[in-house]
Amino acid sequence: RSRAVTVGEGLAVLVAQPGPLEESEIFERTAGGAEANVATVLRQLGVDTAWLSRVGDDGFGRYLVAHLAAHGVDVSAVVTDPGRPTAVYVKERGSGSGKATDLAERASRMLYYRTGSAASALSPADLAATAAAELLAHCGLVHFTGITTALSASATGLTEALLALPRNGRLVSFDLNFRPALWAGRSELAAEVLARHVRGSDVVFLGADEAGEVFGTDDADELRALFPEPAQLIVKNDAHTVTGFAGAERVEVPALGLEITERIGAGDAFAGGYLAALLHDRPLLQRLRFGHLCAAAALTGTGDGAELPATAILERLAMLDEIDWA
**Interface contacts to ligand KDG, rule CB under 6 A:** 11, 32-34, 37, 89, 110, 147, 177, 179, 264-265, 267-268, 304
Q: Which is nearer to ligand KDG, 108 or 243 (CB)?
A: 108
Give the whole-angstrom CA distance, residue 287 versus residue 108: 28
Q: What type of residue sits at position 180?
A: P
Catalytic residue among 268, 304, 321, 324: 268
238 catalytically annotated = no
Q: How far is the CB of 12 from ligand KDG (least distance, A)?
A: 10
Contact 84, 118 (CB under 8 A): yes
Q: Which is nearer to ligand KDG, 122 or 246 (CB)?
A: 122
Contact 74, 7 (CB under 8 A): no
Give the whole-angstrom CA distance, residue 192 versus residue 122: 21
Q: How far is the CB of 111 from ligand KDG (least distance, A)?
A: 11
User: Would you say how long the chain is, in residues?
Assistant: 326
Give the whole-angstrom CA distance, residue 111 versus residue 251: 36
- Residue 49, H or E segment: strand 49-52
Could you give the residue ranges of the DSSP H alpha helices within 142-205? Answer: 146-150, 153-164, 187-200
Q: Select the residue whose beta carbon is closest to ligand KDG and give its number.
A: 32
Q: Which is nearer to ligand KDG, 126 or 304 (CB)?
A: 304
Q: Which is nearer to ligand KDG, 48 or 304 (CB)?
A: 304
Q: How far is the CB of 319 from ligand KDG (least distance, A)?
A: 28
Q: How far is the CB of 25 from ligand KDG (least distance, A)?
A: 23
Residue 11: strand, helix, or coil:
strand
Q: Which residues are catalytic?
A: 268
